[in-house]
Structure 1
Amino acid sequence: MPIPRSSPLTTGRLWRARALARAGLLASAAATVAVAVATVCLVPAALARAAGEAGHPPPPGLSAEDVADQIELGSTALATAAPALVLLVSILAGTAIAQLARLIAAARDDETATIRARGLSSGQARLLDAGEALVVVVVGGIVGVGLASVISAVAGGSALEALAQWPWALAAVVVLGIVFTIALRRGERRAGSSRTTRATTAALVVVVLLAAALVVWQLPAARAGGFDPIVAIAPAVVLMAGTLVALALFGVGSAAVARPSAAIPSLAPAYPTRQVSRRVPIYAVAVLLVGLTVAETVFASAYAATWSAMTTDSAAVRAGADLRVDTKPQSVNPAQVLEAASIDGVEAASAALVEGVEIGQTDAQLVGVPSAMIDEVVATAGGIVDRDALAATAEVADDDFLVKPEPVPLGDTATGLRVRLDIHVVDGFPQGFTVIALLLDSTGAPFALPLDGGLFFDADDLPQFTGDLDFEGYFEGEAELPEGQGPWQLMAVATGLGPVAGGQITVEVAAAEAIGAGPLDISGTGIMTGQNPDAIAWLGDGGVLAEAPPVQGDGVDSKRPPVQVAATKALASRLGVGPGDLVELRYAGTGRRVDVVISSLVDAVPGASGSLALFAPLEHLLTSQLQRGTSIVPPNSLWAAGDTGADAALSAAMNDRPVATAAPSLAASVVGALVPGWWIATAGSAVLSLVAAFAIVQTLAIARRRELGVLRAVGITARRQARMRAAELGGVFGAALVLGAGAGVLVSWLVVPDLVRAVTPGILALAGGIDVAWAPLALAVAALAVGLAAIVAYAAFGVSRAARTATVGEESR
């Protein structure tokens, strides 16, 4: 103590002398405050910047109101989860600064006894501690805010963004100042209160473990949409509990290793392991801080990868493909499919049907994609969507009583279609007669092609000349193939009449030709009446329609084959059905019915907005519809595979309609700011751990100088002492890294999927599992390990240098 005995004992001089004597530890405490303040400023600033930048530019096709609603939803969820990051950094910083305060108090044992003997009062002692804490936290706070401003500006933001977080900085300074003062006072009185301290610590550990159990129990019930205290504290509480378990394992493990190593005749490893075992209370804080940092790093990497996977998978299931444009009430035509496929970044495009259906009192969705495009455009959504099961719905054996589309190819060289129909008229006249050919392009997209032509009758056979109401003629018409991706296929030929009073008209396909390719082998008959003015003259369904035309009377639907479908497990459970069961559907709003047979059960149907859904190949649905009527429910959605960044171009090509993508929604993207927020918090935690570890190692080195002389006296060289100290510290830090990683894995497995669901809107229950961002994890752990290795090397070098001159009893002198 550099105060002469004759000097008057003033508080100011005493405070300055005490501070200068422990300047290193006080500087470490100030650095801890600075890092903590910088981190708690940078994390909210990064989150606020992400929320402010969301929706600029807005997603293509979304209105300003929709963008605002999405941002508000995401911001609400973000506000729920943001406190967890600040809380975790605050816990780690509070632990670190409390340990530094205890080290300062321990280093002042002799000083404290001396100045008390010279008349230092309790009030003066409290004033000294409070003043010291005030200087530490104020200096650290100022440095921390400045550091945050510089980092924010360098990272592409603004220094004002960090300065705007001054309430967080002020709160951190106040809390850390209180913790530092209390820990300093308790450290100076520790001799008389060790039993109370142990009891308090044990009670705190029990509280943390019970709180973690409560969080793990309640977190699965939390959902995004409002503030939830469980979500706010979940990461910090569970990570702290996991680290305390790791710390307990460290204590048990150090004792277990020390016993057998003591039986080894050599000084190493017995000496380092025994030293660790004896100093577990001192090393415990270093293990706690390093272990918590590593656990937080593992947690951050798991959260980042899991959030990305779950949001992307959920979006992919809902969209059905990488990109999707809904056109209802309009339909999607082959020209639009062709245009979409030609956009840069789009690999394939297809028409699709997403339609509501009714099954008894249950509402569900029916999704149809051409079988040829299932593997091309349907997203697997991380394995949630079983494309093999979907494709199997198109596999129908010849002897199965199921819908079997058999469209006729027009050929690669076809440029148009020509059809001739023989007409037999009874008691009427075919006014407003139309003929339409239903074509499928190579992707399976349907197109209704009107055939231009005319009716031809023998003038002598017309009713006004003969008076006979039974006469015949023919229709001949043709049309060029529409714009689309060839080669084309012919699915059906349909006819229609204008208003008629009665009578019956029978049409028969006499000839058909693909212009430029050759004749087509098709034949069929349709019957039109005043009550049924439309008819299917031919349908590529393997002859089913020819055997039972739709106008032959009641009960005809019982002769129609069902469509093979895949149903979600949730729908099958709701209906109490399974594979092989027959289910009757009604298209919502139309009253049209269709029978389906469940071929398989799947977890999810792509493109469905809910869990109650079915999937069938689009051409099977079209065929089934034409077997029961003369119109179709056309595809009302366009699906595309490729880069989700092509959404703007696709929206422009589809008349500026909104584009759903297999990427996180705008609301989810706002919540996605937590991912960089976690990494910022982790980086701050790593620096805090390194500062605290360095201070702890330095304090231990000062306290253990006496043993260097003893070891030198018994013949242990300085180099060997350095190696033993390096082994001791390396073993402690290595164990902390391993145990912390284990705690992080356990905590991530317990809470990360549920936490992602709780803070991110739109996550499906099916999306789950743990993913890990291995590259950032490896980089972060390696950086921490390098920092710890540098501390170990520095400590070993200090031991080597001090051991060269150390003698027994030098501290006494």
Structure 2
Amino acid sequence: MPDRPAPSSVRLLRQRAGAQVGLLVSAAATVAVAVATVSVVIAWLERAVAVAGDPAPPGLSPDEVAAQARVGAVALGSASPALVLMVAILAGTAVAQLARLAAAAREHETATIRARGFSRRQATMTDAAEGVVVALIGAVAGVGVAVGLAAVFGAVPAAALAAWPWVLATAVLLAAVFAIALRRGEGRRTTTRVGRATTAAVIVVVPLASALVVWQLPRARGRGFDPIVAVAPAVVLMAGALVALAVFGAVAVAWARPAARFPALQPGYPARQVARRIPIYAVAVLLVALTVAQAVFASAYSATWSAMVTDSAAVRAGADLRVDMSPQYASPVQVADAASVEGVEASAPATVEEVEIGEADAELVAVPASGIAPVVTSAGGLVDKAALEGTASPGGDAVTAEPLPLGDEATALRVTARAESSGTRHPGFGLVALLLDATGTPDDVILDGELTANDDGSTSLVAEAALPEEGTGPWRLLAIGAFRERAFTGATTQVSVESVEAVGGEPLDIRASVEFPSGINDVIAWLADGAASDSEPAPVAVVVTSALAAHLGIVPGDTFEFRYAGSGRRGEAVVSSITDLVPGASSALAFFAPLENVLVSQLQRDPSFVAPNSVWAAGDPAADDEMSAALGDRPVATAAPGVAAEVTHALVPGWWIATAGAMALSLVAAFAIVQTLAIARGRELGVLRALGIRAATQGRMRAAELGGVFGAALVLGAVTGGLASWLIVPALVRAVTPGILPAAGGLSFSWGLLGAAVAVLAAGLAIVVAAVAVSVSRAARSSTVGEESR
């Protein structure tokens, strides 16, 4: 009787699919999860770029918002491939293992059809067709799931369809992986050799690539597409997972020997079964460990990104909210208006001036001593506020401002003064007072009064001015100035302040005398410069940045001179301490001093002063719109991320979306692997039953076996993720996010989200273990020992 002809490829494909429908469904489900995850991730990232700067930050023009959004989009483009690559690695690993299990299950079938004349070309085409069908079904299902998930995550459902190039690439990749793994699994004579060569190449290449990434990533800056940034997370996590897999294999083999010495069947039997089947369990361990490592990495990236971005923005702003008033000045009214905004807890004026130190350009930042504690940001500990506060009362020869309080009930200031001239005419002069309100904001008022000619040729003046009604009381007196009419003679004029009184308060103990130098018509008659020398202006105690100290070669106690940019005004500073950062400075070369001391230093050298040009406030950054409206619709800098950084923030939920997809991939693959393993070990159940091992005991042993494997994978994955996060997360955040300061660093974790993710994964694995244990227990009740097993 002639042999029946070999079946056609289509018929064979249908028959083979029907025989291994469980594994093929698992493979299709894996493709579906991968496609859905990639689609949702891409849709989410595109949404972040589309809505960047909507609504626009207060005071920024649409062009400025668009420019910042483009910067963020460029940085996002470098990092987004890492998310897709992680999904592809996990899905490819799972699909390859499912294909190998399908090939193993078809071992006898493959040998039979080969014996009947099924050619290698037909086998290759059949495997390729099977891979295409699995990928096509999975891709269609995955796109459907992605459309629904996109709506749930707030993205436009159509955005998931717009990611079709990524979907197509993912589906083609997984189809190729499935077909190649299936073909290699069926080619038994070459599989071992090729597999060992491939494994050896992976073991060598991935750690080397990981070392290259760790070395080069700190140099990346995200100004364009950077392949190091794109592959860094995947390469480092994969290298860690391979190390974890090697550790698992070594521990499993090492544990099997002492476990076998126990008199009971447990734990020796489960331990030896794991040690014998490490190649099969390795994929499950790799997937679970890589998933947990990715969850730890996502947690670290999320918390570290938030901390570094917020701290960097806070250092640059100097406070929670900041409004620069240049070219105008910050008045007491504006500082009070800022304090009245809902959500603002305190406000203060600030001076941020460009200065020149030799040939170096630097910045001077000054805030009233009373505003350092409540207003200046600590930026997560990056700013040394104790060092800033220490400059308020430096001691020694440095400037110390001691403004006199006028009292809570004071309503006006009255000054009595007398002027004498070396000429023949009665001298004419006037008085002006420099006041500080409770926030430290300066305001000058001209004192009005009638000049009285005395018989001795002198002139007396009793001048008075009401304290400003708008501002924040109580007020303090910092200086009294005198001015005279322009004189064309060489006569000298001496002005003596005889008494100063706060109307409604107590008399002030002020006596002073000053002489107008020749050709000078404005002088400071009295100054609240407590410890300053009368002969020579004193330096201001300052905190300098380490970069400025290194540039100038100075240490605490050294002095340096500086010039205010664009003017001939000069100053001198003495280094009180050195710190990494000065809040509010945009340059690394900067120094800080209390505003009162800076004003006194200026008035010691010149009868005029530089008024503060910025308003800082502590409070909720969400109050930026109201604060902008209160201060003339000016731009508000906050301690929150800017537009460019906010675009890159999409990577934070993006990593969690990819992690959720990885968890689903791991659970699907783990269930398929253990179920297939349970079927392959069916004969084992009858042997154990014949030896007197109860069905329930067999179920518990299988649960212990799987629980130990998955538990070890969870622990190894957590360690791997922590190590990978320590190695690259801070550098990755700097490379991806514009505006991160070099001093911002440190690793932190979102423990709540991490705990939830690991708990969900552990619960899913526990369900898989329980299901397999129940299945084994049921099968063991009816399993018998066949003749071939005796």
TM-score range, shorter chain: over 0.9
**Given the alignment, which residue of 438, 451, 455 partners 1:455?**
451
1:690 to partner: Cα distance: 0.6
Residue 537, structure 1, aligned to residue 525, structure 2:
yes
TM-superposition CA deviations, 1:532-563 (whole Å, max 9, x none): 11011111112747x34xxxxxxxxxx22211
CA distance in 2: counterparts of 1:675 and 1:542, whole angstroms = 53
Task: Name the SS of the counterpart of 2:742 in structure 1.
Answer: coil
User: Secondary structure at 2:449's aligned position in 1?
Assistant: strand
Within-5 A mapping of 1:287-306: 287-306=285-304
Cα deviation digits, residues 693-725 of structure 1 (max 9, x gap): 011001100000000000000000000000000
Counterpart residue number, 1:555: none
Letter in 1 for 2:709: V
Any residues of structure 2 matched to 1:490-529 within 5 Å, and which? 490-502=477-489, 503-529=491-517
Cα distance in 1 for residues equivalent to 2:43 and 2:531: 69
Further displaced range: 526-535 or 694-703: 526-535
Contact in 2 for aligned 1:706/1:811 (Cα 8 Å): no
- Are 2:670 and 1:683 aligned? no
- Which TM-score applies when normalising by structure 1? 0.95
Q: CA deviation at 1:190?
A: 2.9
Structure 1 residue 590: deviation in Å?
1.7
Check conservation: 1:34, 1:143, Cα contact below 8 A: yes
| Aligned counterpart, 2:613 | 636
Instruction: Tell me the equivalent position of 1:405.
Output: 401
Distance 2:181 2:146 in 1: 27
SS class of match (2:380):
helix
Identity %: 60
* Partner Cα distance (1:309, 1:694) in 2: 38
Aligned to 1:230: 228
Distance apart, 1:134 and its partner CA: 1.3
After superposition, the C-alpha distances for 1:415-468 in whole angstroms (9 at most, x for unaligned) are 11111221223338689844221111112111112222232225x77xxxxxxx
Superposed, which structure 2 residues align to 1:654-665 within 5 Å? Answer: 654-665=631-642
Match for residue 335 of structure 1?
333
Deviations, residues 445-497 of structure 1 (Å, cap 9, x unaligned):
11112222232225x77xxxxxxxx5433342322334111111100011223
- Contact map agreement 2:427 2:459 (CA 8 A) in 1: no
Residue 52 of structure 1 corresponds to: 50
3-state SS in 2 of match to 1:769? coil
**CA–CA distance in structure 2, aligned partners of residues 498 and 753 of structure 1:** 64
Question: Per-residue deviation at 1:379?
Answer: 0.7
Matched length: 788
Residue 293 of structure 1, CA deviation: 0.5
**1:812 Cα deviation after fit:** 7.8
Letter in 1 for 2:78: T
Secondary structure (helix, strand or coil) at the match of 2:719 reads: helix
The one of 692, 715, 718 equivalent to 1:741 is 718
Q: Show the 5 A alignment for 1:424-503.
A: 424-427=420-423, 433-458=429-454, 471-502=458-489, 503=491
**Offset of residue 171 of structure 1:** 0.7
Query: How far has the Cα of 1:396 moved from its partner?
Result: 3.1
1:787 lines up with 2:764 in the alignment: yes
SS in structure 2 at match of 1:496: strand
For 2:495, give the aligned amino acid. Answer: V
* Partner Cα separation in structure 1 for residue 510 and residue 615 of structure 2: 31
* Residue in structure 2 matched with residue 556 of structure 1 by the alignment: none
TM-superposed CA distance for 1:80, in Å, is: 0.8
Q: Please give the alpha-carbon distance, in whole angstroms, between the structure 2 residues aligned to 1:207 and 1:194.
A: 20
**Deviations along 1:295-318, whole A, 9 cap, x unmatched?**
000000000000000001111111
CA displacement, residues 346-399 of structure 1 (integer Å, 9 cap, x when unaligned): 0110001111121111211111111111110111111110001110111234xx
| Counterparts of 1:431 and 1:75, CA distance in 2 | 69
Q: What are the residue-to-residue correspondences of 1:606-617 with 2, within 5 Å?
A: 606-617=583-594
Equivalent in the alignment of 1:170: 168
Q: Which runs of 5+ in 1 are unaligned?
A: 462-469, 549-558
Higher mean displacement: 479-488 or 657-666: 479-488
8 Å contact from structure 2 (residues 427, 493) kept in 1: no
Please, what is the CA RMSD of the aligned residues? Answer: 1.8
The amino acid that maps onto 2:523 is A
Residue of 685, 696, 713 corresponding to 1:719: 696
SS at structure 1 position matched to 2:267:
helix
Which residues of 2 match residues 767-782 of structure 1 at below 5 A? 767-782=744-759
Work out whether residues 357 and 588 of structure 1, in 8 Å CA contact, stay in contact via their aligned partners in 2: yes
Task: Quote the offset at 1:146 in angstroms.
Answer: 0.8
Tell me which residue corresponds to 2:183. Answer: 185
SS at structure 1 position matched to 2:365: strand
Rounded Cα–Cα distance in structure 2 between residues aligned with 1:651 and 1:289: 51
CA contact (8 A) 1:423 1:475 kept: no
What's 1:307 paired with? 305
Q: What amino acid is aligned across from residue 457 of structure 1 in structure 2?
A: A
Which residue does 2:88 correspond to in 1? 90
| 1:352 alignment counterpart | 350
Shift of 1:637: 0.9
Partner of 1:149: 147
Secondary structure at the counterpart of residue 450 of structure 2: strand
Which residue of 389, 392, 398 corresponds with 2:390? Answer: 392
With the length of structure 2 as denominator, give the TM-score of the two structures: 0.97
1:72-83 aligned at under 5 Å gives the runs 72-83=70-81
3-state SS in 2 of match to 1:267: coil
Structure 1 residue aligned with 2:273? 275
Q: Is the 8 A contact 2:400 2:532 kept in 1?
A: no
Gaps of 5+ in 2: none
Q: How does 1:256-271 map to 2 (within 5 A)?
A: 256-271=254-269
Larger mean Cα displacement after TM superposition, 257-266 or 736-745: 257-266
Superposed CA deviations along residues 656-699 of structure 1, whole A, max 9, x for unmatched, are 11111111111000011100110111111110111110110011
Amino acid at match of 1:440: L
User: What is the Cα deviation at residue 811 of structure 1?
Assistant: 8.3
Asked whether the 8 Å contact 1:454–1:477 carries over to 2, the reply is no
Give 1:248 shift: 0.6
What's the CA shift for 1:200?
Answer: 1.7
Q: Kindly provide the amino acid, as one letter, of the partner of residue 106 in structure 1.
A: A
Q: Are 2:421 and 2:427, in contact at CA under 8 Å, matched by a contact in 1?
A: no
Distance 1:431 1:180, change over 3 A: farther
CA contact (8 A) 2:451 2:459 kept: no
Shift, 1:498, TM fit:
4.3
More displaced 10-residue stretch of structure 1: 425-434 or 38-47 = 425-434
SS of the counterpart of 1:352? strand
CA distance in 1, matches of 2:428, 2:49: 60
Amino acid at match of 2:405: P
**Corresponding residue number in structure 1 for 2:122:** 124
Residues 560, 746 of structure 1: CA spacing in aligned structure 2 closer, same or farther, 3 A cutoff? Answer: same
Cα distance between partner residues in 2 of 1:45 and 1:811? 57
